[in-house]
């Protein structure tokens, strides 16, 4: 492959290259920020609209070579998002990715290809949220967490209530002070009824969007109960994490102050110095492998302040 076609992956970028990423693509820019801060992120490549097809092919070649995988996770980045945009995070074989990537690029969206993940087997997912009325004013730190089988989209856009919530008030996001354990208020919502509702909401999202996007369910076939259809699909393939009974309270309590440190670092180094709401999702993909996904700025995401979701 010609030298000019070589595409560096995220993990190959130098610190200066990570620091000067294109702010038009917030997902990618904040993945670079997380990498620069030393937080774990999946290896990835960015393909932007208008690039020659040879560079798209080179980008796919680069991430395949770096990961040794024939499957990749697909996300897209369009800057300030509306309610109608491609909900990525699904994993596809590289033979299918060219077509999907080109369709997104033709819509003016950048494409992010990441090393593969399995959203059905996550061990734990947490959303770290930083809020303040305006720059210089005291705000709040919040952790929302879900256990095995759930994924980040449940917390960011799925409307699924967290099993564990941790809050800390009167946070000065301009001056670091580690909160005392007594500053962290932990609440639980793990009753059988709450878990039944939560699980059904997750399954309904899989059945109506995720599994049709991946082609595992034919979108043309009518389904009276998408949640039941998704449950049958998961059980047939042995993806049973969603039905594992696990109290994640102690794990969240142990990690809360470390996550506050992560959140403070993200807030301090974010490009938008006047932010009022930032959030970053982190997941245990299995075997203790923790990664951060990106950082969402409320000014670039619909409904963040009014709906409390990012």
The pLDDT, as a whole number, for residue 297 is 92
Report residue 11 CA to chain centroid gap: 18
Q: Contact, 195 vs 245, CB < 8 A?
A: no
Q: Contact, 251 vs 124, CB < 8 A?
A: yes
Report residue 120 CA to chain centroid gap: 14
The pLDDT, as a whole number, for residue 140 is 97
pLDDT in tens, the chain (310 residues): 444 468 899 999 999 999 999 888 999 999 999 999 999 999 999 999 988 778 888 899 999 999 999 999 999 988 665 555 566 788 999 988 888 888 899 888 999 999 999 999 999 999 999 999 999 899 999 999 999 999 999 998 878 999 999 999 999 999 999 999 899 999 999 899 999 999 999 999 999 888 888 777 765 555 678 899 999 999 999 999 999 878 899 999 999 999 999 999 999 999 999 999 999 999 999 877 899 999 999 876 644 333 344 4
The pLDDT, as a whole number, for residue 86 is 60
Question: Cα dihedral angle (289, 178, 309, 232), rounded to 10 degrees?
Answer: 30
Count the neighbouring beta carbons within 10 Å of the beta carbon of residue 258: 10
The pLDDT, as a whole number, for residue 310 is 47
The pLDDT, as a whole number, for residue 301 is 61
Beta-strand ranges (E) seen in 11-163 are 44-47, 71-77, 90-93, 110-114, 124-131, 139-146
DSSP string, 142-208: EEEEE-TT--HHHHHTS-PPPSEEEEEEEE-TTS--PPPGGG-EEEE---HHHHHHHHHHHHHHIII
> Could you give the strand order of the β-sheet that contains 71-77, starting from the edge strand earlier in sequence?
44-47, 110-114, 71-77, 90-93
CA distance 126 to 259: 10
Q: Contact, 92 vs 74, CB < 8 A?
A: yes
CA distance 137 to 246: 38
CA distance 132 to 56: 40
The pLDDT, as a whole number, for residue 148 is 96
Q: Contact, 104 vs 98, CB < 8 A?
A: no
CA distance 116 to 138: 39
């Amino acid at each position: 492959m010609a030298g000019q076609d070589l595409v560096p992956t995220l993990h190959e970028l130098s610190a200066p290259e990570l620091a000067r990423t294109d702010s038009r693509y917030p997902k990618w820019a904040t993945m670079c920020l997380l990498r620069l801060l030393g937080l774990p992120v999946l290896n990835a490549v960015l393909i932007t609209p208008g690039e020659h097809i040879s560079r798209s092919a080179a980008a796919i070649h680069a991430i395949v070579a770096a990961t040794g995988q024939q499957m990749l996770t697909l996300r897209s980045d369009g800057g300030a998002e509306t309610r109608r945009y491609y909900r990525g995070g699904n994993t596809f074989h590289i033979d299918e990715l060219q077509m999907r990537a080109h369709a997104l690029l033709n819509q003016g969206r950048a494409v992010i290809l990441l090393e593969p993940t399995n959203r059905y087997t996550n061990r734990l997912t947490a959303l770290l949220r930083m809020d303040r009325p305006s720059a210089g004013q005291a705000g709040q730190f919040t952790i929302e967490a879900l256990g095995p089988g759930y994924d980040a989209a449940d917390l960011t856009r799925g409307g699924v209530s967290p099993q564990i919530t941790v809050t800390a008030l009167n946070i000065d996001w301009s001056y670091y002070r580690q909160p005392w354990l007594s500053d962290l208020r932990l609440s639980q919502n793990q009753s059988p009824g709450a878990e039944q509702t939560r699980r059904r909401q997750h399954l309904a999202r899989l059945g109506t969007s995720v599994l049709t996007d991946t082609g595992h369910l034919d979108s043309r076939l009518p389904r009276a109960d998408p949640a039941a259809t998704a449950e049958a699909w998961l059980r047939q393939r042995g993806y049973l994490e969603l039905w594992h009974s696990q109290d994640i309270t102690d794990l969240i309590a142990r990690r809360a102050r470390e996550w506050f440190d992560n959140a403070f670092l993200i807030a301090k180094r974010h490009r938008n110095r006047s932010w009022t709401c930032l959030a970053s999702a982190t997941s245990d993909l299995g075997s203790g492998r923790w990664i951060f996904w990106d950082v969402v700025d409320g000014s670039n995401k619909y409904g963040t302040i009014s709906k409390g979701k990012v």
